[in-house]
Amino acid sequence: MTNDRPSEERLEQLREKAWKNGVVAGRGVDVAGGPIPRKPGYYGEPVVRPPVWTREIGLYFFIGGIGGMSAVIASVAILFHHLDLIRAAMWLAAIATILSPILLIMDLGRPRLFLNMLRVFKHQSAMSMGAWILSGFGTCTVPALIAVELHFHHVFGGTMGQLVRIAAGIFIFGSALFGMLLATYTGVLIGATVIPAWFLHRVLLPIHFGTAGLGSAAAWLELIGHRIPALNAIGYYAATVETALLFWLSINKHGTADRAIHEHGSGWLIRIGEILNGPLALILRLFGLVPFAAISFLIGALVSRFGWIAVGRVSGADPEAVFAAERL
């Protein structure tokens, strides 16, 4: 009551301002919506839809990548007669081939209809191709593991033993063939969409996902005790490629169109992931701290997969990014 005068003056001021400008900005008041909306697009509503995928998908990208590339390592290990490594790698691939469909089915809106994925074969749908690649991978990996175990435990002798050995070889090569596609197609899956931050990096994504898969497979095998120079060399290769991709991503910027990669929480996830599986893993390996390098790479590979999903959510909900990408 004692402060009557100043507040009346303030109201007069506001009235004056309203009359002059047609709009009054103030704390706690969103003037963007009126009288003429100033948000980009239609009241800032998203132009394309952000992905509805849940966190199972990020985990699937990670596990599928490890499994697929383990089979590749196993197939090469055959040529160099590393039987222990073949066994370990095929176990890894087999576990991945069981977990991957479970994660994918959990992510479906109607999990009971998951078999409809195999109703058609559509080369123009990366999702359809992925379903078939995963099916092929499972079809080769499980018999491959059984054959490897039969061979390892010398269950059969003579001709039968020879046949088992040959079967193991064939199935492992089949598994490697599907495996290398399983680890890389995920980049195509999200690269060939309408989400600006994804499709603008559709060439980088398969390289990143595939290489992160290879490095993760090698890192995992190292952590469970296979400390051999060949896996160390793969570790160097993967960390070097990931470091190069980190540079590529920081040079190949598209401004507003892919700002989700460089701003927001999603940008931080990408950055943290890429540093962990790129430069940090490389430095740790140079210092001979192989287990730490392996752990750093694995965490980085996992974080960046979640990062790319988060980027899709941010970028898809950003109308300005869509407009900017179409003007590029």
CB atoms within 10 A of CB 272: 16
How far is the C-alpha of 12 from the C-alpha of 8, rounded, in Å?
Answer: 6
Q: Output the smallest distance, CB 120 to other proteins, in A.
A: 4
| CA terminus-to-terminus distance, the chain | 60
Q: Which of 275, 322, 321 is nearest to 296 (CA)?
A: 275
Q: How many CB atoms lie within 10 A of CB 235?
A: 24
The tokens for 180 are: 């290398």
Residue (131 or 276) nearer to other proteins, CB: 131
One-letter amino acid of 300: G
Question: In angstroms, what is the minimal distance from the CB of 105 to other proteins?
Answer: 9
Rounded-to-integer distance, Cα 171 and Cα 146, Å: 10
Our CB check for other proteins shows the closer of 150 and 238 to be 238
Residue number, 206 or 307, with CB nearest to other proteins: 206
Identity of the residue, 104 or 150, whose beta carbon is nearer to other proteins in the bound complex: 104
Give the residue from 197, 83, 228 showing the smallest Cα distance to 148. Answer: 83
Nearer to other proteins, 98 or 233 (CB): 233
| Closest distance of CB 14 from other proteins, Å | 15
Minimal CA–CA distance to 183: which of 117, 134, 239, 132?
Answer: 134
Among residues 29 and 163, whose Cβ is nearest to other proteins? Answer: 29
Q: How far is the CB of 200 from other proteins (least distance, A)?
A: 9
- For other proteins, the closer CB: 57 or 150: 57
Nearest to 121 by CA among 113, 111, 109, 130: 130
Nearest to 246 by CA among 281, 194, 293, 289: 281
Residue 49 φ/ψ region, left for φ over 0, alpha for ψ in the -120 to 50 degree band, beta for the rest: beta
